[in-house]
Structure 1
Amino acid sequence: MYIFFIIIFHRKHTMIPPAESLLKYDNPVLVSKSSDRKSQKGRPLRVSPQQPENTLPVPPPPKPKSTTTEATKQENDEILSNILPPREWMEGTQLWVQQVSSAPCTRADVIHLEEQLDIKLQQRQARETGICPVRRELYSQCFDELIRQVTINCAERGLVLLRVRDEIQMTIAAYQTLYESSVAFGMRKALQVEQGKADMEKRISDLEDEKQELKKQRNVEKAKCDAIEKREAEKRQVEEKKHTDEIQFLKKTNLQLKTQLEGIITPRK
């Protein structure tokens, strides 16, 4: 129990730094120690000057353009920070924060991104077809980097890509939930089939035993029936013989009585 508490405490206070990502980040910045983490957590990581839209004095003609450009850049940075939040980790008692880079990208950066994607797919041995969490993670990082590059130039286009990314993730999550539920349903059906198979096999065995028992009873009853038929046949033969003998005796007696009667009736000469 004590060792388990030490492990939990160690994990809570020494977070592993995040792994390398295709999404481009700025250099990590030390924000505070663990004692000040709660107070720093609720504060914005990048303090932007207040928007001077309503409080601007009337400037000379050249200044509004630069001020508007600076405000637009600041707004794009805030949108980028909201779209792609910074990542945090602890090293000892120090809290480090790494913001997403707001540096504009070039054509060489896009080519380098594609090369890094191919290299990481090969290094992490991602499958080319089928379901592969590694390939999905890397392509998600690549898509986030493209969103970052687009948002720097056009925040509205970045927001549209954000909607596309969220819709894709939501669709994938729905398919994943459907897949998990179908797997669970298949497992339940397989268990039901196995249980039903065992019950059916037991019922078949019981019916086979009952069939054998009924066969034995049939043989016994058949033997009894054959014995009764044989006994009745013998009895019938005896009765028929007795009846025949009786008929013969009666015929003979009748013949004798007839002869005597004729002798009595016929007059003597």
Structure 2
Amino acid sequence: MAEKSIECQNTLVRYNNPTLVIKHDDRKGDEVPKSPRPVSGSIGDSRKETEEILNSILPPRVWEEDGQLWCQTVSSTPATRQDVINLQEMLDTRLQQSQARETGICPIRAELYSQCFDEIIRQVTINCTERGLLLLRVRDEINMRDEAYETLYCSSVAFGMRKALQAQEGKELLQERIRQLEEEKALLEAAISDMKVKADQNERRNAELRESEEKKHSEEIAFLKKTNSQLKSQLENIIKK
């Protein structure tokens, strides 16, 4: 059962073997028992203090399986040089197995590196509590920064989507306005064409009228001149007599 639980709780952080806390029938609340009582003396007190700090940094994992409550605390065993090498190899293996992206935003890669960082904090805390707590502050600050970046990214995406929708709506309104103006332009061009045709017709009619009036006027002048000439001749004949 313990081995099966370890496989289900697969992580790069080293944990102790799961321990059975209580059965489902005897369960009273969700309290997790404290770590076993350490051996007496300064070494035991120091080990207990380290375990308490580790449990505060990396809280024990509790889950229920087959009606039984299991608890798994983080290991307080110091890491060797070979453990660090194994951690690096495990990280590379998990990255390949999970097909994590090498660049860009990848939740899988971020999770694996976060587990690796937690394991490094565990290893450092065992040897130097102060250094481990400082790394914990660094980890929390990185997580806060990542959350701020994620919030900013989501806000930027939402802002961009709103602006894109507004631009699309504005584009549709402008396209509708362009269509209306083009229709008005076509109507005005048709009216101008009709007015030009009417103007040409009026100009031709006026030209014909002017020509007709000028012809009539010329004929009247010629007639008056002829009449004047006849009257003048008659008047001269009368005077001579």
TM-score range, shorter chain: 0.7 to 0.9
Change in Cα spacing, 1:38 to 1:194, as seen in structure 2 (3 Å) is farther
RMSD: 2.6
Q: How does 1:230-241 map to 2 (within 5 A)?
A: 230-241=204-215
Question: 1:89·1:96 contact (CA, 8 Å) conserved in 2?
Answer: yes
SS in 2 for 1:95: strand
Aligned residue identity for 1:210: E
Q: Identify which range, 217-226 or 100-109, moves more after superposition.
A: 217-226
Question: Aligned to 2:196, which of 219, 222, 231?
Answer: 222
Equivalent residue number for residue 190 of structure 1: 164
Question: Taking every aligned residue pair, what percent have the same amino acid on both sides?
Answer: 59
For residue 45 of structure 1, the aligned residue among 34, 38, 41 is 34
Deviations 1:73-102 (A, max 9, x none): 322221111111111111132221111111
Superposed displacement of residue 183, structure 1: 2.3
Say if 1:99 and 1:255 are closer, same or farther in 2 by CA, change over 3 A. Answer: same
Residues 130-145 of structure 1 aligned to structure 2 (within 5 Å):
130-145=104-119
Amino acid at match of 2:77: A
Q: How does 1:1-269 map to 2 (within 5 A)?
A: 18-34=8-24, 39-41=29-31, 45-46=34-35, 67-262=41-236, 266=239
Amino acid at match of 1:45: K
Structure 1 segments unaligned to the other structure (5+ residues): 1-16, 50-65
Question: What are structure 2's unaligned runs of at least 5 residues?
Answer: 1-6
Provide the C-alpha distance between the structure 2 equivalents of 1:91 and 1:173, rounded to a whole number of angstroms: 33
Deviations 1:91-124 (A, max 9, x none): 1322211111111111111111111111111111
* Counterparts of 1:177 and 1:37, CA distance in 2: 40
| TM-score, normalisation: structure 1 | 0.76
Which amino acid counterpart does residue 85 of structure 1 have in structure 2?
A: P
Shift of 1:221: 2.0
Relative contact order, CA 8 A, sep 6+: which one is greater? 1
How far is 1:191 from its partner? 3.0
* Shift in CA distance, 18/254, structure 1 to aligned 2, threshold 3 Å: farther
Q: CA deviation at 1:35?
A: 6.0
